[in-house]
A and B are shown apart, each in its own frame.
Chain A
């Protein structure tokens, strides 16, 4: 590291790395310099002039947000001149500001309020009538109230640099300046709401939250997004048991402040009017509401009877339920029901990767690695659509560290714009195409390879062999679809593998029927489906089978069931989930739906009805067992308990799996889709961009990515 620079600030001598911006150096020294437009991680703007400081030997006040510290610099942030400047800047910002704090969404957590409270003047010298412009709606998500805007351009930069969308700009000049959307009077964008959350004032508000509540009336519950596999932390604002907003302004979690439209606004499925709140039991051919006691007794009795006569069970687990529930489910199937016919919808080939990586240490990349890796290769995924947070990480890595991104996809993707090299190859042909990147890849210090569902079975082994042949450290991310797709695989919701990728034969069992065989078996006696919707695509062949479904909604599968049990959502329970990179994170219950129970509790109660004991159905207890018995899951408890992400280290040996690439396929969700669950979010289905498209990058957004100067 280069020598430190010594400078004086408010009479104290302190040191900082050369080229550190004054605003950052001051912060490191414990001195706050107020700022609106300066924002960590994005390009410098120097627009608000809130950060003016006095620098000796410089005639005028200087902006601390773009001035690097230099040796011997003498800075004052506490002089009367600086105080007067701050007051003056705030007075100017308030010239046309409506001061409608009593009704403003931001009231109570507004940076302008805070600044005026701390540095401002109680009176304004302006007596002119304030310019008023009516509020505008740009999309179901985004509303803009111009008079409140202080033109800090944070929204413009987060959308352009952070998201790579560039949907916002600045229109007009002088006091008429305002933020403008990309389609004249409306937005066509990711609808992620990053611009709304980053806005220091209430100029941008969301269709979901506006005028709903006040920030201090909510409980703030940090949990994990239940949609895609990226595992973003989302902080639910909960009032009276109902979620009113989701954001991550405290930047906790792997994702910092990132959230896509699903994480920020998709939560409304939770209080959708069609949520199931009572069990349903089929009587005379029709599903009718029943009490929990009746429903559980019906299921328990039937399951016990089928088991007793040696009937055939099928069990289909979920991509959204917790690790504990998945672990418990495979126990329930194998012990309580005595069947190996258990599977889940496999959306990526995790098991083959783990097998192919035997003997490799540290070959699974974490989400944090994506921000630091010198190079990454994307194969067969429209990353910004399917894995929004991973795409955000790579973009930030490029802006801050000039990471080299390579991509081989079947169509144009957002990453093309800044990638070092991209290539089009039909699905399944990617591994032939990758050879032409060999020379470039081998020159990198290390590489992370992210691959989609077209790389499965043998192709995964070939990919790992290719990685090995590069002669540099390579790590992998097997892209899977949902919030706990990875966990379902790790926890052995598979016909041939037990938790931790142990073969069932090790436990003296025979592999059972896989997903497709369960659905096509004509002699199935009972089917147990936990938060999954297989019949949306494939009908059940066994017409006589007794079907039990646990779900939030009356899905196509639930409609065919004999008993439907209302399940709690991920936002209503504790427990852990494992993200696409194999990091374990903890859910925290925020909301509550009357009548619904967690899948864990339901399984426990059914086994009790059946008169078998497979352990206590408490998340903490099951997690303790998972940590103890599942290889790789002996994660640091303090990390998980305090809301951190603990990486798992699965087996480092051969996995005795049956290659079934035909069973692996991604649901190809776009930014606005998420399997069955997404259908129940009014916000997701109401945006103009719904349902979105993969590989449909419009030509017009071929803007060059900027590398930010401030790192």
Chain B
């Protein structure tokens, strides 16, 4: 499997970042970085990471099963995660999730038909002080109201339309 030169460079650095004989420590970061580039963890990627870190494929598989942030299926371009855990819930997190579901037209773990968004209901993201919180990709959005949510989605859709034009 080949990756972008930037990712290859990252991998090379990772493999030297741990004590000798401990390349298995690179399994999780490698999977995460590769997932960022590919969008998901494919079977091919599992075998590749196993090969590069000197563990068996089934051991990599075990890790993926354990960490919910590693995905076995492709998702939309933007992963929209809405927290409905206690702090967010008391200030409207649950309603926000339902609103998001209506706006995007998909439920939990659903992907919009244009392949742009995947919605997910998540547990606490550590942003309780600014509840209700959502995360889009790696970006946090605080004290989100249904209106702000719609504007955010609208913005992302427009940006996408722009890039398609060029």
**Chain A residues near B (Cβ < 8 Å):** 166-173, 180-184, 699-703
Contact = CB atoms under 8 A, between A and B. Distances in A.
Contacts of A699: 51
Nearest to A184: B43
Contact of A700 (B43, B50, B65, B66): B50
A168 B50 CA distance: 14
Given A184-B43, A184-B46, A700 B62 contact: no
Given A184-B57, A699-B51, 10 more contacts: A166-B59, A169-B62, A170-B62, A171-B62, A172-B66, A173-B65, A180-B65, A182-B56, A701-B56, A703-B59
A122 B59 CA distance: 38
B64 to A, nearest CB: 8
Nearest to B72: A184
Interface string B14-48: 00000000000000000000000000000100110
Contacts of B12: none
The main secondary structure of chain B at its interface with chain A is helix
Contacts of A181: 58
A180 B56 contact: no
B61 A700 contact: no
Contact of B59 (A169, A172, A173, A184): A169
Contacts of B62: 169-171, 180
A107 B66 CA distance: 32
Given A700-B56, A702-B54, A169 B61 contact: yes
Contact of A171 (B47, B50, B61): B61
A167 B58 contact: yes
A180 B66 contact: no
Nearest to A176: B65
A166 B65 contact: no
A171 B61 CA distance: 7
5 closest A-B pairs (Cβ-Cβ)?
A169-B58, A171-B65, A182-B58, A172-B65, A169-B62
A699 B50 CA distance: 10
B156 interface: no
Nearest to B59: A169
A173 B58 contact: no
26 contacts: A166-B56, A167-B56, A167-B58, A169-B56, A169-B59, A169-B62, A170-B62, A170-B65, A171-B62, A172-B65, A172-B66, A173-B65, A173-B66, A180-B62, A182-B56, A182-B58, A182-B61, A183-B57, A184-B43, A699-B51, A700-B47, A700-B50, A701-B56, A703-B55, A703-B56, A703-B59
Contacts of B56: 166-167, 169, 182, 700-701, 703
Most buried by B among A168, A172, A700, A701: A700
A166 B43 CA distance: 18
Most buried by A among B55, B57, B66: B57
Contacts of A168: 58
B158 to A, nearest CB: 39
Nearest to B46: A184
Contacts of B54: 702-703
A181 B59 CA distance: 10
Nearest to B55: A703
A180 B54 CA distance: 19
Contacts of B59: 166, 169, 703
B50 A180 contact: no
A702 B59 CA distance: 12
Contacts of B46: 184
B25 to A, nearest CB: 14
A181 B46 CA distance: 13
A212 to B, nearest CB: 29
B79 to A, nearest CB: 20
Contacts of A182: 56-58, 61
Contacts of A167: 56, 58
A182 B56 CA distance: 8
